[in-house]
Structure 1
């Protein structure tokens, strides 16, 4: 199966929660290729804590970096350089290719992974489909349209949008302007837990399956 890469319009937009919901909905495997910042725990550990199904495998990161920064900066601080060929070789294979593999990116789609390549270059190299995450805030229309524009420029196979949080009612306008469908709109809650993730996974499962 073609892997599904979760990316979005920036940092702190809810990619990890959306990754958990999509992983739960598909009973897929999960992989975070690059983890930058580990002091408060990793995204993989958070996803593991939010899943209810027993089929998902959480695969280890290819790069785990101490500094909570852009991957190229975090790697440079440790005297390392992130290599896309290494990431390709590290990509997990799902059992008999019968399960989807959900990959979670670092930051937004144009975050640098090294001095010359970006998250979008990793997506192309991994031959992944993409789910775009947009969090509703002042300025997110601009960030969402710019993200969609670079996806079209690079001929990325975009499945659709998952919107997160509430601000104003313009999700349908982003869908119309970009031409990418809405998979789901995740409401804001103070505490995200297993029951919330399972509830949201069940709500979007049918819509997601139709788009895959």
Structure 2
């Protein structure tokens, strides 16, 4: 298995057998931003390795899904953030938000940072409905009105992480044509 549970789930869902070092070139065994993990573990960052491995993956696969690390302004170095990594990889983004209180504010701020850094936004996905949060229809309406970004769909909490189940849920709930 992989050191990272997230990488294992994503690799399984994508049905790829790429080595972990290619998929996750710099792993931090603590739950923290890369900046904090690097400081606490006294490890030197290796952005060039991350970019090199990304280029290799780009040549191996026709489509890549690059998972973020906690948010658009997550620090990697003192003066290098996830926004910088996205720019260096020349990627556009899909913003994933939740339904809990604060989601509108957080999503608007994320959109504003993408605008500031000139990162194209492909759309927004509403993830894991929170029973105490916004109703999905209202949140979709408000986010589209306030951000002028399309909500591609919404994904409920997924208990069954099998490939077939994930595919069915995504196909039913996400508008990939947008």
Q: State TM-score, norm by structure 1.
A: 0.70
Does 1:144 pair with 2:100? no
Counterpart selection for 1:87 from 47, 50, 56: 50
Counterpart selection for 2:148 from 170, 179, 185: 179
Asked if structure 1 preserves the Cα contact closer than 8 Å seen for 2:124 and 2:150, the reply is: yes
Partner of 2:165: 196
Asked if structure 2 preserves the Cα contact closer than 8 Å seen for 1:131 and 1:159, the reply is: yes
SS in structure 1 at match of 2:31 = coil
| 1:150-207 Cα distance to aligned partner (Å, 9 max, x none) | 1111111110001012222322211221111111111234x142143121232256x2
Partner of 2:128: 165
- Aligned ranges 1:37-116 → 2 under 5 Å: 41-49=4-12, 51=13, 54=15, 56-58=16-18, 59-91=22-54, 92-95=56-59, 99-116=62-79
Residue segments in structure 2 that go unaligned for 5+ positions in a row = none
Partner of 2:95: 132
| 1:99-149 Cα distance to aligned partner (Å, 9 max, x none) | 111111111111101111110110011100111100110111111111111
Q: Compared with structure 1, are the counterparts of its residues 63 and 175 closer, same or farther at alpha carbon in structure 2 (3 Å cutoff)?
A: same
Q: By percentage of residues, which structure has more strand?
A: 1
Asked if structure 1 preserves the Cα contact closer than 8 Å seen for 2:75 and 2:81, the reply is: yes
Total equivalences in the alignment: 166
Structure whose CA Rg is larger: 2
Higher relative contact order (CA 8 A, sep 6+): 1
What displacement does 1:60 show? 2.7
Asked if structure 1 preserves the Cα contact closer than 8 Å seen for 2:155 and 2:173, the reply is: no
SS in structure 2 at match of 1:133 = strand
Q: Distance in 1 between matches of 2:17 and 2:152?
A: 24
What displacement does 1:90 show? 2.1
- Aligned ranges 1:17-56 → 2 under 5 Å: 41-49=4-12, 51=13, 54=15, 56=16
Residue segments in structure 1 that go unaligned for 5+ positions in a row = 1-37
Output the aligned Cα RMSD. Answer: 2.2
Question: Structure 1 segments of 4 or more deviating over 6 A?
Answer: none
Q: Distance in 2 between matches of 1:121 and 1:159?
A: 18
